Each structure stands twice: as C-alpha cells, then as structure tokens.
Copies of this chain bind each other. A is one copy, B any other.
Amino acid sequence: MSKLRFSITMSLDGYVAGPNQSLENPLGVGGMRLHEWAIQLAAWRESHGDKGGGEVNPSSAIIDEMFQNVGAVIMGRHMFGGGTGAWDNEWKGWWGDDPPYHMPVFVVTHHPREPLPMEGGTTFYFVTDGIQSALHQARRAAGDKDVLIGGGADVVQQYLAAGLVDEVNVSLVPVVLGDGARLFDNVGGPDQRLEQVRVVQAPGVTHLRYRVAKSSP
C-alpha cells in the first residue's frame, strides 16, 4: 500500500530550523547543528556527490531507507528555490543537471511553469492548484510505491494539518534552539493520533518512526 511519508530532523525543543531564516542562511541561526549527525555519514556524502569517506553507523540505514520504495517526491517552492520575487524560468533547482531524485518531483507553487526534465530521470512538475492536487499527481506517478514529502517544513505542516500523512519519521537531536520554526505548530495538535512504530538509537540522534492513526470513516 502506497504511503505518504516524510523524514525530518528536529531539535529536542521541537524546531526544524533556527530563528532568522534567510536565503543566505536557510536553516536559521544554529540550524546547522540539527544536521551534524547526517553530514558526517558516508551515505549522506555519497548522495551529495562527495565520495570522500565518512562514517558508517546505525544512521546510515536510516538515510538509505528514506528513498527506498519511493516513486515520487513532493516539495515546496522554497525547497526548489528560484528567488524570492519574480519566478525565474532559468532556475533548475539547487542540485545541478543530475538531481539526486531520479524520479518525478512535484513542486507546490503559485507560479505555473512547464515540466522541467533533468538528467538521470528527475523531472520537476510545477503544481499550482494546491497540496491535494500535488498528492493526487504524485500518487499516480508513484503507482504502488510511496510518496515522500521532501520538505520544507511548511509543506510538511500543510499535509499534517490536512490529515493526509501516513508515516512520520523524526530524527531527534540533543539540541535546544530556543526559537525558530516549529514542526508541530498549527497542525491541529490533539487531532494528530500517532503510534510509535520504531526507535533507532545512533550517535548524536534518535530516529523515531510513527504511524498516523486514521479515524474510521
């Protein structure tokens, strides 16, 4: 059964980015500390085109699992990038000519644009009629495989609030940011019914998987 899921790193006090996010500092003040567990890994370095070493530890399998059995990706327009003002039809994302997705990627945006095929099997589709439509198109593209919400946090929150997410993966780090963007704000708190499925302890991080319990129709 195809699932809608996401994986995100969160501080112990619930932030997925620090305060004062900007184009120059998209993770906000202190936000890089969230990802220290990942950037030291060989699995992360390889997926970002760096073949130079890196660690192998229980987090490596978590990185690998993220894209396993995924048939389509959804992301927000900030994650795709392309400037703050006018939409730039020359912009092709942050990932170079051969993005690491190798599958259809649906960008939720207000700016219509023709599909953008890249090398290696990635094609960016620009969806202007909302998250439900993006999910519908992504599911159709994914077939029996899962749909991954790639980010950012605002798009993840919209899908959570709409009750559309099936699986939540949180990588919890022992960092206290004190301010910034909170993952579980404005998602209808008590309406979220999560069941703990799996916990993986790794150096400097705990990977938590929750299933979202659906209320009976």
User: A residues within 8 Å of B by Cβ?
Assistant: 12-14, 30, 170, 172, 174-179, 182-185, 187-190, 192, 194-196, 198-199, 201, 203-206, 208, 210
What are 10 A-B pairs with beta-carbon distances under 8 A? A13-B14, A13-B182, A13-B184, A13-B189, A30-B189, A172-B172, A178-B184, A178-B190, A196-B204, A199-B206
Q: Which residue on B lies nearest to A29, using beta carbons?
A: B190
Copies assembled: 2
In the assembled complex, which residues on chain B have CB atoms less than 8 Å from the CB atom of A184? 12-13, 176, 178
Take A14-B13, A199-B199, A201-B199 as given contacts and tell me if A189 and B176 are in contact as well, using a CB distance cutoff of 8 Å. yes
Pick the contact of A192 from B176, B189, B190 — CB < 8 Å? B176
Is there contact, CB below 8 Å, between B172 and A178? no
Interface contact B199-A175, CB-CB below 8 Å: no
In the assembled complex, the Cα of A122 lies from the Cα of B204 at a distance in Å of 39
Asked if B196 and A187 sit within 8 Å, CB to CB, the answer is: no
Q: Which residues of B contact A205 (CB under 8 A)?
A: 196
Q: With A12-B184, A14-B13, A172-B172 known to touch, is A177 a contact of B199 (CB < 8 Å)?
A: no
New A-B contacts (16) at CB < 8 Å, excluding given A176-B194, A179-B189:
A12-B14, A12-B170, A12-B194, A13-B182, A14-B182, A172-B208, A174-B194, A174-B195, A174-B196, A175-B194, A176-B189, A178-B189, A196-B203, A196-B204, A199-B206, A206-B208
* Nearest 10 interchain pairs by C-beta: A178-B189, A13-B184, A174-B194, A199-B201, A14-B14, A176-B192, A176-B189, A174-B196, A199-B206, A174-B210
Tell me, in angstroms, the Cα distance from A205 to B176 when the chains sit together: 21
The chain B residue sitting closest to A19, CB to CB, is B189
